[in-house]
Every structure is written in structure tokens, then in C-alpha cells.
Amino acid sequence: MLISKTIAEAQSACAQLRGEGRVVGRTLGLVPTMGALHEGHLSLARAARAACDAVAVSIFVNPTQFGPNEDFSKYPRTFENDCALLEREGVDLIFAPTVEEMYPAWASTFVIVEGVSDRLDGASRPGHFRGVTTVVSKLFHIIAPHKAFFGQKDAAQVAVLRKMVRDLNFPLQFVVCPIVREADGLALSSRNHYLSEKERQQALVLHRALQKVEEAVASGEGSSSKLIEAAGLVLAQEPGVRVDYIAVVDPDTLEDVSDVRGALVAVAAFVGTTRLIDNILL
Ligand code: AMP
């Protein structure tokens, strides 16, 4: 496994991994991450391993997707452990650039997916998706993967990036993998590191709210406002939890829907000071 901190080295290593110059090329998969890896990230690495001849994982805490009062400087960084986990998964390359390598002082180009980037997390975190789409575009150019793997956990990110791939004709397959959860239902997240034991218990309410929505749909409820109300009542049972949004939307456009079939039900809430997200597809 090669660990590369520079773009030039990663580019030449990826050209080799793609089998450039050979008669029969090889497929290269990319899993973009911000590190502090858990089973959710590893599920993406495994999906890439199963679908591709070679796998690259990027580890980069991307400053341009954090707002001024967000957790960029305290975001968990566990690089040594991440490398050991990825080595075990048979990953071929870890690309772990510095901020200066990715954003030299003279860089002034951003990628913006209009409309969808301003909904859900984009509404709560202005500029967040501009940072995401810019860094992911750069990673696509540097690594040039045939397939790129993302988690359904970040459903709004999936909608924004899928649109970016289509709009800009990135020549790759965009693969979305299911949410990995703890046994008690909590969606795995690097930000779960921030939770105290008590908050960890309170955080389960997000999953409970989504389960309530599923139950309501199973018993015939088809009104999105009724589903939002049902989820809100469950979330209100935890006084330590402050709802950011509860939404029933089209999974591609993130616009509100009245017909809930195939809709994305997404929640974001602060547990103490930690913002967590979760979702289900109906
Ligand atoms: P992050 O390091 O938080 O930027 O996440 C990197 C990738 O892992 C993103 O595509 C996430 O959607 C995905 N991911 C994070 N948590 C989970 C999870 N619990 N299940 C599946 N994928 C996840």
C-alpha cells in the first residue's frame, strides 16, 4: 500500500494502478473520506475492492467545506489507525495531501452546483457543498477513477455530487452504498467521537424518528406533513436534542414532495453541540 502526500506522486501511482499502457486496462475505484475511519468508510472500501481491480482512498479534512464556526480544527484525525485499517482492506493507495498541496495560495477556482447545493445541509451550512464539489472535482481529476464510492448516510451530498458528475460529464460511475449503523441503530459517523455517553444515548432519537416514519408509511400514511409531524414528536422527546431540519424530499432534487413514494426522509439535529444527520429512502 502506497501512502502519498503529493498530487504528482498520486497521479503517477494511479496511472500505474489503472494499468495505463497495458493492452488490457484495470479499473480503479476511489473512496473519498475525511479520515477518522469507521465501519461505514470501510464498507465503501470493501465495495470498491469487490468492484474494481485497484482501490484508492483519499483522507483529507477539507477546509473549504467547513463554515467559520464549524469544527475544522477539532475534527478527529486518526491517521496512523486509518492507514492500518485500510492496509487490512487491501487498499492500494492512500492519498493524504496537506491543505497547501490541495489549495495553493493562488488557487481561486470553485465548482458550484446551483440549486440543490442550497437545500437541506446546504441551507443550514452555507457554502458547505461548494467546498465538497470543489474538492471532489479535484480528487476526480487527480485520481481519475473509473468508479467513485459514496455513502447514502450523506444523502444531500449524494444528490449534489451525482448532479455534478452528470452536469460536468465526469467519466466515471457514481456508486452509492447503504448506511452502516451500530447495533442499536445509530448511524456511524466520525462526529460520534464528540458525543458523551449521555449524548450517545440521546442521539438514538434520530433513528427512532425515522423508524416512526417508516411505521407510519407502512400503515398507510401518505402525507409528507404528517410524516414530518410524527418524526418531530419523537425528536421532541429528547430535550437535549435540537432539530435542524426534518424533510421529505425528492432524493435527486432535494425539493419537497407531496407524494412520499420513493422520497428521501432526512433529519439533522444537534445533540449538545454535535450536529448529526440520518435518513431513510421510502
Ligand atoms: P466523511 O469522512 O464523513 O466525509 O465520509 C466519507 C464517506 O463515507 C462519505 O461518502 C460518507 O457518506 C460515507 N459514510 C460516512 N458514514 C457512513 C455510514 N455510517 N455508512 C455508510 N457510509 C458512510
Residue pLDDT, tens place only, 185-228: 999 999 999 999 999 999 999 999 999 999 999 999 999 999 99
Q: Is residue 45 part of a domain?
A: yes
Domain total of the chain: 2
Q: Are 16 and 123 in the same domain?
A: yes
Q: Does a structural domain hold residue 146?
A: yes
Do residues 56 and 92 both lie within one domain?
yes
Give a yes or no: residue 182 inside a domain. no
* Residue 38 belongs to some domain of the structure: yes
Q: Is the CB–ligand 1 distance for residue 128 below 6 Å?
A: no
d(CA 71, CA 233): 29
pLDDT surpasses 90 at 76: yes
Q: Does residue 185 lie within any of the structural domains?
A: no
Give the range of the structural domain holding residue 147, as residue numbers without chain letter.
2-177
Which of 149, 177, 205 is a domain's end point?
177
Q: Is residue 44 within 6 Å of ligand 1 at its C-beta?
A: yes
pLDDT score of 259 more than 90: no
The answer to whether residue 62 scores a pLDDT higher than 90 is: yes
Same domain, 7 and 131: yes
Distance 58 CA to ligand 1 centre (A): 12
Q: Is the CB of 153 under 6 A from ligand 1?
A: yes
Annotated catalytic residues are 41
Residue 62 near ligand 1, beta carbon < 6 Å: no
Same structural domain, 82 and 173: yes
Tell whether the model's pLDDT for residue 23 goes beyond 90.
no
Residue 28 forms part of a structural domain: yes
Contact 214, 81 (CB under 8 A): no
- Report the pLDDT value the prediction gives residue 258, as an integer from 0 to 100: 84
154 lines ligand 1 (CB under 6 A): yes
- Kindly report the CATH number assigned to the domain that includes residue 45: 3.40.50.620
Ligand 1 atom closest to Cα of residue 154: 12
| Across 174-180, average pLDDT | 98
* pLDDT value for 22: 82
Residues 132 and 203 in one domain: no
Q: Give residue 25's pLDDT band: very low, low, confident or very high (50, 70, 90).
A: confident
Alpha-carbon torsion 19, 94, 158, 160, what sign? negative
Same domain, 117 and 8: yes
Q: pLDDT above 70 covers what percent of the chain?
A: 100
Question: What burial letters (b/e) apply to 39-74, b meaning 16+ CB within 10 Å?
Answer: ebbbbbbbbbbeebbbbbbbbbbbebbbeeeeeeee
Average pLDDT, the chain: 97
Report whether pLDDT(21) > 90.
no
Q: What digits encode the pLDDT tens for the residues 32-48?
A: 999 999 999 999 999 99
Cell numbers given for 208? 427512532
Last residue of a domain, one of 128, 145, 177: 177
pLDDT band (50, 70, 90) for residue 271: very high
Cα of 106 to ligand 1 centre, how many Å? Answer: 30
Residue 184 in any domain: the answer is no
User: At which of 177, 201, 232 does a domain end?
Assistant: 177
Q: Report whether residue 133 contacts ligand 1, using a CB cutoff of 6 Å.
A: no
Residue 175 Cα, ligand 1 centroid: separation in angstroms?
Answer: 13
Indicate if 163 and 228 belong to the same structural domain.
no
pLDDT (0 to 100) of residue 173: 98
Closest residue by CA, ligand 1 atom 13: 151
Q: What pLDDT score was predicted for residue 24?
A: 81
If asked whether residues 29 and 152 sit together in one domain, one would say: yes
In terms of domains, do 147 and 25 share one? Answer: yes
pLDDT exceeds 90 at position 132: yes
Domain shared by 170 and 207, yes or no = no
CB neighbour class for 265 (10 Å; exposed up to 12, middle 13-18, buried from 19): buried
Q: Mind listing the pLDDT tens digit for each residue in 139-154? A: 999 999 999 999 999 9
Q: Both 20 and 157 in a single domain? A: yes
Ligand 1 atom, smallest distance to 181 CA: 19
User: What is the CATH classification number for the domain harbouring 232?
Assistant: 3.30.1300.10
In a domain, 183, yes or no: no
C-beta of residue 96 within 8 angstroms of C-beta of residue 9: no
| Nearest alpha carbon, ligand 1 atom 10 | 150
